[in-house]
Amino acid sequence: MTNHWVDIKNTDLVLIMGGNAAEAHPCGFKWVTEAMQHRKAKLIVVDPRFTRSASIADFYAPVRVGTDVAFLAGVINYLLSNNKIHIEYVKNYTNASFLVNEKFGFDNGFFSGYNDEKRSYDRSTWTYQMGKDGFAMVDETLQNPHCVFQLMKKHYSRYTPEQVSKVCGTPKESFVKICEMIGGTSTPDRVMTIMYALGWTQHSVGSQNIRGMAMIQLLLGNMGRAGGGVNALRGHANVQGITDMCLYSEVLPGYLGSPTDADPTREVYLQKRTPKPLRPNQMAYPQNFPKWHTSLMKAWWGNAATKENDFAYDYLPKKDGAYDVLDIFERMYQGKMNGFICQGFNPLAAIPNKKKMGVAFSKLKYLVIIDPLHTETGEFWKNFGDFNDVDSSKIQTEVFRLPASCFAEETGSFTNSGRVMQWHVRAVEPPGEGKTDAEIMASLFVRIRDLYKEDGGAGPEPILKMNWPYSNPTNPAPEEVAREFSGRALADIVDPKDKTKVLVKAGEQLAGFGLLQDDGSTTCGNWLYCGSWSQAGNNMARRDLSDPSGLGYYPGWGYSWPANRRVMYNRAGADPSGKPWDPSRKGIAWDGSKWAGFDVPDMRPDAKPEEHVGPFIMTPEGVARLFAVGLMAEGPFTEHYEPFETPIGVNPMCPTNPKAVSNPAARVFKGDMEVFGKAKEFPYAATTYRLTEHHHFWTKNSEANAIVQPAQFVEIGADLAKEKGISNGEMIKVRSNRGEIKAVAVVTKRIHALECDGKKVHTVGIPIHWGFVGLAKSGYLSNTLTPYVGDANCQTPEFKAFLVNIEKA
């Protein structure tokens, strides 16, 4: 979330699309009802199903699964053609005025630079025109045909209400009504918020769904404001924290890009990741990258990270390709992996194509499961009849299962969706011989390190020299670890403006990332979390409920990264002269000598408004990007592509280009493309979803939850049930081109057939919560059905739009 949970109460309009907060995030959804009751805010819900959120909405409209990009592109077109944009905001805080490379273009489904064989783009034309002064060129009148604003107008003009209705199946009148409601927040005194979740991310075009919405919020001037922002509602209590700690291949803690084979030295590595400002006076905050990275290396390799050895740069592994989950399991499926460790993760159920996953695991030599609960992955080798029909004797994988603690049995911090880190304390011991994840990881590490000490082995230095300063090396205290990632000074840090003044003494915890250094004099395991444990103590454990603004910032509750800031980009919540757009919802303002207010300024505190320092300090331009320079895989503007399994078989936006039916830049492995289903055999659009009584695949192990939702079901609309002669409560078979499941049919009026491109499209809803392990009735893993393809940028699997057929079982 760019904003935070309580902030939703400050909005005038809530759009829930790509999520179902009333069902999946009920206690956060309460802030929607708060806004509706006390601010008279309106709620719009757009979803393929009439959801619990829809049931209290002021306005609901259906949309076909996998067509949200087209819907949002239609909204952009409406805003631009009806002048429902916040023009002063757009001119000053976005790249609308920037001139784009004249060779950039778009034609019949492809942006310039497409390579059909590689299924990827050469993005060299998706750039700015650069002036002789080294800065990007702009046209502040927004009239130049190559400026972003004019290119946008042209690109989105194709998304008329009629076209949106044809692609999405949303009635035209409903679509226009929603556009009018959204357009109403383009004035400075009105703000809209958007709440989305997996309904937007789990698509082959997931990143573009979210990007489309970010563009809308920028056009409306709703970013950086109380009651606004783009708000992702995330799935686990600490999925945000683990993302920030970067337990994935592309990045190191704090989103620092991982070194690759193309970064042979520290110098090259840093140079590529340290941008220069693209416009005069801009902060281009990632210029500090060397400070963040060097401090991380000091945290990991301590005294062994020296200036002489490039701060142990070579100790970090370099990546030679993609290593996202889809890629990892493809490697495993091909027999290229020997071992695997699953910590609190159930991939047999959570990664698409269960059959492929089972085969992949069978090829491992060893598998280690670290989990508080029994999981299907841990028992992939066991026969559970139709639910998991395997021959144990033929599976040669050695499987270890280690008992881990759950939240109640550990001390530490979780980071919520609103970026607030909160400390929790152990209440009981884990049952049996259970241990915390931290103790298990530390004990394994110490064992392995001892083996390398005694026997030697391949590349031992990074292991032997790892900084491991914990009082109990096999069970580091959470407090020690928290202090390490927050960071401290290793030498006195002096004020750069007055060298006689010591800002922090050696050994002291740092107050914030502004103090980090690139010369090895600071250590910090995650620059974004710097200050969470300052010299004042554990800020994550703070429980101060004062709220001077009345807007729900609660600055003394926990610690909100970055820098305890509660609303990101809050400089954009004030006009160019520094006055809040809406004084009744002030975040920060220019007080004549500095930026100050209720929140921590997202701006250099002494940056005078007349210096025109842009509010989006993480871009080298200082402004937000309506045109994504060089970053997105499938295009700098959003464009509709069908799901890989499309019920209409054609992309209505470019019907004559068969190569741009689905995302032309999405990666598809050999063998997976072949098992995509076609509408002729699998005519119904399907989507997976979650229920309020269950949490993913955990709560089927909890008796209370297993009682309230005991058995697997599939939801179909009354009109489809009638066509197929299926009655409520009957067992049905649901088949995709990868497998089939049997479940009870729940016939509802919540799903209706939609008319798309002249075809009638039915939707089948598949809740995901059952499996063959647990206290609920055994069921099929829903990923038996889902396709093995992900978003072109981040490889999030396409669980929300695929094809099935159904019949009576």
Name which of 36 and 179 has its Cβ closer to another protein.
Answer: 36
Which tokens sit at 718? 């009354």
Cα gap 401→773, rounded to integer Å: 15
**DSSP, res 211:** H
434 sits near another protein (criterion: CB under 8 A): yes
Name which of 252 and 685 has its Cβ closer to another protein.
Answer: 252
CB of 509 to another protein, least distance (A): 15
Name which of 130 and 448 has its Cβ closer to another protein.
Answer: 448
Q: Is the torsion defined by CA of 55, 229, 7, 698 positive or negative?
A: positive
320 sits near another protein (criterion: CB under 8 A): yes
CB of 357 to another protein, least distance (A): 12
Report the site for another protein in 636-695 (rule: CB under 8 A): 692-695
Name which of 112 and 534 has its Cβ closer to another protein.
Answer: 534
802 sits near another protein (criterion: CB under 8 A): no
Which tokens sit at 241? 């924290």
Pick from 183, 224, 229, 476: which binds another protein (CB under 8 A)?
476
**DSSP, res 783:** G
> Smallest Cα–Cα separation from 734: which of 757, 758, 760, 768?
768
Instruction: Mark the segment that binds another protein (CB under 8 A) among 55-63, 136-144, 439-447, 668-676.
Output: 439-447
Report the site for another protein in 334-373 (rule: CB under 8 A): 336-345, 347, 350-351, 365-366, 368, 370-373
Pick from 39, 119, 363, 374: which binds another protein (CB under 8 A)?
374
Are 479 and 465 in contact by the 8 Å Cβ rule? The answer is: no
Cα gap 677→286, rounded to integer Å: 44
563 sits near another protein (criterion: CB under 8 A): no
Question: What is the helix (H) or strand (E) element at residue 295, kind and residue range?
Answer: helix 289-301
Report the site for another protein in 30-69 (rule: CB under 8 A): 30
Residue 338: exposure state from Cβ atoms within 10 A (0-12, 13-18, ≥19):
exposed
Pick from 421, 753, 756, 781: which binds another protein (CB under 8 A)?
421
Cα gap 346→371, rounded to integer Å: 9
Q: Is the torsion defined by CA of 52, 53, 59, 61 positive or negative?
A: negative
Instruction: Mark the segment that binds another protein (CB under 8 A) among 284-292, 421-429, 675-683, 760-768.
Output: 421-429
> Smallest Cα–Cα separation from 296: which of 678, 288, 86, 165?
288
Beta bridge partners of 61: 46
Which tokens sit at 69? 């990009």
CB atoms within 10 A of CB 270: 17
CB of 7 to another protein, least distance (A): 10
Phi, psi dihedral angles at 615 (to 5 degrees):
-80, -15
| CA 732 vs CA 680, 689, 763, 809: distances in Å | 20, 18, 15, 4
CB of 700 to another protein, least distance (A): 9
CB of 366 to another protein, least distance (A): 5
CB of 396 to another protein, least distance (A): 4
Pick from 13, 216, 438, 679: which binds another protein (CB under 8 A)?
438
Total residues contacting another protein (rule CB under 8 A)?
Answer: 163
Pick from 32, 195, 215, 442: which binds another protein (CB under 8 A)?
442
CB of 233 to another protein, least distance (A): 7
Phi, psi dihedral angles at 150 (to 5 degrees):
-70, -40
Pick from 57, 215, 305, 402: which binds another protein (CB under 8 A)?
402
Report the site for another protein in 243-272 (rule: CB under 8 A): 243-249, 252-253, 258, 261, 264
Report the site for another protein in 602-631 (rule: CB under 8 A): none
Report the site for another protein in 741-800 (rule: CB under 8 A): 773-775, 794-797, 799
Judged by phi (left if over 0) then psi (alpha if -120 to 50, else beta), residue 625 lies in beta
Q: DSSP labels for 377-412?
A: GGGTTS--GGGS---GGG---EEEEEEB--GGG--E
Name which of 415 and 663 has its Cβ closer to another protein.
Answer: 415
Name which of 79 and 792 has its Cβ closer to another protein.
Answer: 792
395 sits near another protein (criterion: CB under 8 A): yes
| CA 127 vs CA 178, 212, 213, 273, 435: distances in Å | 33, 19, 22, 17, 52
Report the site for another protein in 511-530 (rule: CB under 8 A): 525-526, 529
Question: What is the helix (H) or strand (E) element at residue 266, kind and residue range?
Answer: helix 266-273
Name which of 330 and 645 has its Cβ closer to another protein.
Answer: 330
Report the site for another protein in 443-462 (rule: CB under 8 A): 443-445, 447-448, 451-452, 457-459, 462
E strand segments, 588-641: 588-590, 595-597
CB of 450 to another protein, least distance (A): 8
316 sits near another protein (criterion: CB under 8 A): yes
CB atoms within 10 A of CB 756: 21
Cα gap 360→186, rounded to integer Å: 51
Q: Compute the residue count for the chain.
A: 809
Cα gap 512→605, rounded to integer Å: 14
Residue 365: exposure state from Cβ atoms within 10 A (0-12, 13-18, ≥19):
exposed
Report the site for another protein in 148-207 (rule: CB under 8 A): 202
Longest pairwise C-alpha distance within the chain: 85
* Interface pattern 101-130 for another protein (x via CB under 8 A): ------------------------------
699 sits near another protein (criterion: CB under 8 A): yes
3-state secondary structure of 422: strand
Name which of 344 and 710 has its Cβ closer to another protein.
Answer: 344
Pick from 132, 385, 393, 498: which binds another protein (CB under 8 A)?
393
Instruction: Mark the segment that binds another protein (CB under 8 A) among 116-124, 477-485, 654-662, 680-688.
Output: 477-485
Pick from 241, 358, 765, 787: which binds another protein (CB under 8 A)?
241
441 sits near another protein (criterion: CB under 8 A): yes
* Interface pattern 201-230 for another protein (x via CB under 8 A): -x----------------------------
CB of 543 to another protein, least distance (A): 7
